[in-house]
Amino acid sequence: MDKNLCKKAVDFVCDLEGFKEYAYKDSGGVWTVGYGQTYFSGGKKVMQYDKIGKTESILFVQKKVEKIYYNIVKRINRTLPENQYVALISFVYNVGETAFNRSTLLKFINMNREKIEIISEFKNWVYVKGVFVQGLLNRRLKESSLYFQEKIGELF
């Protein structure tokens, strides 16, 4: 993975996630810490009272971003521009690789569907346990906006 692309993806994910030093329950009730991580590098799940430093959390995000990137490359049937990789990395960081691999969003991207259909698929991912979450809609709007931007710098 290109270092420049990795940095842009990490910056975008970290900006959307925000940093929390101490564990908290996310909108789905899952213990989370740092930049939206639900487990530590060693695989231990985040629990109440856990804490993490920014540097450690950024390293976690970097490793996860690289893993996600290679999953996306395997699943997408063509090379994408940088902005689309960054948007999809952020999306997958949030929803998980399994959900993305089974998603209509992935199918629509591979079918080269219309812009409005792809944006609509991003917006379908705004619910947690059937409940609408405004923060997820805000995130999907940023991801879909970046996905269709000509220059990645417009959102940074």
The pLDDT of residue 150 is above 80: no
Catalytic residue among 26, 50, 56, 66: 26
Residue 17 annotated in active site = yes
Structural domain including 11 reads 3-155
CATH number at residue 147: 1.10.530.40
Half-sphere exposure of 13 (CA within 13 A, CB side): 32
Q: What was the pLDDT predicted at 122?
A: 98
Assess contact for 33 and 50: CB atoms under 8 A.
yes
Catalytic residue among 2, 11, 15, 17: 17
Mean per-residue pLDDT, 24-39: 97
Instruction: Specify the pTM.
Output: 0.94
CB proximity list for 74: less than 8 A, separation 6 or greater: none
Residue 11 annotated in active site = no
Distance CA(61)–CA(58), nearest Å, equals 5
User: pLDDT tens digits for 88-128?
Assistant: 999 999 999 999 999 999 999 999 999 999 999 999 999 99
Q: What φ, ψ does residue 79 adopt, rounded to 5°? A: -80, 135
Q: How many domains does the chain have?
A: 1
Strands (E) across 39-105 are located at none
User: Tokens standing for 14?
Assistant: 């970290």
